[in-house]
Amino acid sequence: MGNEQRMLESRGIEVIRFDRCNDDIHDSSLTAKAAAAVNTIWSRRSRAEILQVIREVQPDIAHVHNTFATLSPSIYGAFVAERVPVVQTLHNFRLFCPGAMLLRNGRPCEDCMDHSLLRSVRHRCYRNSLGATGTLATMLALHRTLGTFSKGVDRYIALTRFARTKAVKGGIAEPTITVKPNFVPNPPPVGEGDGGYVLFVGRLLEGKGADTLLAAWRRLTDVRLKIIGDGALRPRLEAQGRRDGLNVEFLGRQPRASVLQHMSGARLLIVPSDWYEGFPMVIAESFACGTPVLASRIGSLDELVQEGVTGRKFNPGDAGGLTAALRRMLSEESTLSDMRRNSRAYFDAHLTEDMNYSQLLSVYSGVIAGRTRGIDAVHRAS
C-alpha cells in the first residue's frame, strides 16, 4: 500500500490516506471485546468518518486495501451512497476465510469455501478463539447476504492468477477481478551471487516451511544457510540448529538494504512455504537482484517460479525433495547463471514500478469510465 501511494504521488496524483489503528481491539475487558466485535461487523463511526472525508475531498476513486478490523465493511456503503467507484486489492483470503490464510494445522484448508463458515468457528481458526472466529464468520456471512462485496466494489485486484481462482471459488465474479502483481521500487543492481551461501527471508511462523528447511539442512552440512527474519518459532528453530550442529546462521530482522545485499550475494533464495502465499515480496526482490528461487510447488509460488528458468520447485513439506532440488541447482553452474539472467529479465518485464503504474492506472481508468457510462445510461433512461 505504501509503495503504491508513493508511486502515485511521485507522478502527480493526489492520494488521501484514510487509516484506522487496530490497537484498541487488544483491550481485554468484556466491554471492549463486545465493542470490538460489533465494530468488526459494522462500524457506524467508520462509515460516518469516511462519509465526511468523501464529501470534503470528492475523490475520483477509492482504493481499499483492508477493512479489518476497525474500519469494517460498513465503509463500502458510504462510497456507494456518494457514487464513488471502488477498487479493492485482495492481499490475503480474508473474504473467504476468517483466518485469512486458508491454512489450518500448518496445511492448506478450504473448508469454509467447500462447506460453511461454521467450519472455521468449530476449529477456532482466528487466534484459536471461538468468540473472535465467530465474529469474523458472522461479519462475512452478513455482508455476503447484504451483497456488500458484490455491490460495494467495482473492481478487485488479485496479486496472482492463482489468487484470482480462489477468489472466484469464494464467490467473487471473475469478470470483476484483475491480476496485478506487486512491484519493487528503486530496484538494486543485479548481484553476483558470490557470497557462498543460500538464503531464506521471511517470518518464522506456522506455514512458512521453516521446519522443512531445517530438516533438509541435516543432509546439507556442506551448504551454508542464512536465515533473515523473526517470529514465534525462532527460539525453537535456533535451539534445534544448535543441537543438531546445522550449518545455519540466524540473522534476525534486517533493514531492507541489508536484505537486498544478502539477496544479491546469495546463490539462491529458498521459499519453502506450506500455505498459499499471496505474492511474497521476497520473490520480487530476489528476481530484482537476479537471484533464482527454489520454492514449494504450491499456490502462487508454483505460478511465480518457472521451473528451470527462474528457479526450481519441490513438493511442500518434502525435505528430501528440497535437498535434491537444491543440490541440482548448485551443481549446474551454467544453468544457475542462466537463471540469474532470467530472473532479472522477468523482473524487468513484469515487476517494475513503471509497469505497475501503467497497470494500476488502467484499472482506475476502466472503473471510472464504466461508472460514467452507467450514470449516462441512467440519465438517458430517465
- The C-alpha atoms of residue 357 and residue 369 are separated, in whole angstroms, by 18
For residue 361 the three cell numbers come to 492506472
pLDDT tens string 136-194: 999 999 999 999 999 999 999 999 999 999 999 999 999 999 999 999 999 999 999 99
Residue 371: band (very low, low, confident or very high) from pLDDT cuts 50, 70, 90: confident
The pLDDT of residue 381 is above 50: no
Lowest-confidence segment of 24-33, 121-130, 230-239, 351-360 by average pLDDT? 24-33
- The C-alpha atoms of residue 252 and residue 259 are separated, in whole angstroms, by 11
Q: Which residues contact 239 (CB under 8 A, 6 or more apart)?
A: none
Average pLDDT, the chain: 92
The whole-number pLDDT of residue 129 equals 92
The whole-number pLDDT of residue 375 equals 46
Q: What residue has cell string 473492481?
A: 155
pLDDT tens string 56-112: 999 999 999 999 878 899 999 999 999 999 999 999 999 999 999 999 988 899 999
Residue with more model confidence, 348 or 41: 348
The answer to whether residues 165 and 300 touch, using CB atoms and an 8 Å cutoff, is no
State the CB neighbour count (10 A cutoff) for residue 25: 18
Q: Which residues contact 234 (CB under 8 A, 6 or more apart)?
A: 204, 250, 252
Closest CA to 20 of 40, 38, 35, 5: 40
The pLDDT of residue 237 is above 60: yes
User: Where would I find the H helices in 15-89?
Assistant: 30-41, 44-57, 74-81
Partners of 90 in beta bridges: 158
Residue 382: band (very low, low, confident or very high) from pLDDT cuts 50, 70, 90: very low
Partners of 86 in beta bridges: 62
The answer to whether residues 74 and 42 touch, using CB atoms and an 8 Å cutoff, is yes
- The C-alpha atoms of residue 46 and residue 120 are separated, in whole angstroms, by 27
pLDDT tens string 143-156: 999 999 999 999 99
Beta-sheet strands, E only, within the chain: 62-64, 86-90, 103-104, 107-108, 155-158, 177-179, 198-201, 225-228, 248-252, 269-271, 293-296, 311-314
Residue with more model confidence, 358 or 29: 358
Partners of 108 in beta bridges: 103
- The C-alpha atoms of residue 207 and residue 282 are separated, in whole angstroms, by 16
Domains of the chain: 2-183+354-381 (3.40.50), 198-351 (3.40.50.2000)
pLDDT tens string 3-57: 999 999 999 999 999 987 655 455 455 545 666 777 788 889 999 999 999 999 9
The whole-number pLDDT of residue 35 equals 65
Amino acid at 247: N
Q: Cis bond leading into 69, ω under 30°?
A: yes
3-state secondary structure 121-143: HHHCCCCCCHHHHHHHHHHHHHH
Partners of 157 in beta bridges: 89, 178
Residue 311: band (very low, low, confident or very high) from pLDDT cuts 50, 70, 90: very high
Residue 1: band (very low, low, confident or very high) from pLDDT cuts 50, 70, 90: confident
pLDDT tens string 252-273: 999 999 999 999 999 999 999 9
